[in-house]
Amino acid sequence: MQLNYSPNKEKGFTLIELMIVIAIVGIIAAIAIPNFNIYRQKALKQRVVATVKNTATLEEARFASIQSYHEFATVTGPATVTFPDPDSNASVRIAPGMTLSATLQPDSSLKITASHPGFTGTINYSTSIGVVL
């Protein structure tokens, strides 16, 4: 029995094997990166929607309690908006980069507007309609 052992034989990967691995990684990255951006935009939009819904809930609770809305100028996160209420100190947290505002309209309703630079568009809530748009 004879072993074919050569002390000068190099061990490692060939250039072809390395090129195939790089091509596979490139294909996976080409598929994964656009999908990641889509999921990130959806997550940011849902975060903005949740913030608007929380703010609308606090505003409606305040109106039910003392018949007035809490109007505030545009606030950019990270920040916290506190609702001055004689019964409680309710507040809503604003995520980093998100902008949120609440303005009284001529018909005495309140319009809540929020956006985030991570997705295009704004999310609105109007107390006259009662729906997040």
State residue 4's pLDDT score.
62
Residue 131 clears pLDDT 70, i.e. is over it: yes
- Among residues 95, 131, 100, 103, the alpha carbon closest in space to that of 114 is found at 100
Domain ranges of the chain: 15-132
Residue-wise pLDDT tens digits, 120-129: 889 999 988 8
Residue-wise pLDDT tens digits, 26-81: 999 998 888 888 899 999 999 999 999 999 999 998 888 888 898 999 999 899 99
Whole-number percent of the chain with pLDDT over 70 = 90
Helix H or strand E segment including 39:
helix 15-66
Asked if 53 and 115 count as a contact pair (C-beta separation under 8 A), the reply is no
CB atoms within 10 A of CB 101: 17
Model pTM score: 0.75
d(CA 97, CA 40): 14
User: Side chain identity at 131, as an amino acid letter?
Assistant: V
Whole-number percent of the chain with pLDDT over 90 = 52
Asked if 112 and 62 count as a contact pair (C-beta separation under 8 A), the reply is no
State residue 12's pLDDT score.
80
- Residues 105-128: what's their mean pLDDT? 91
State residue 113's pLDDT score.
95
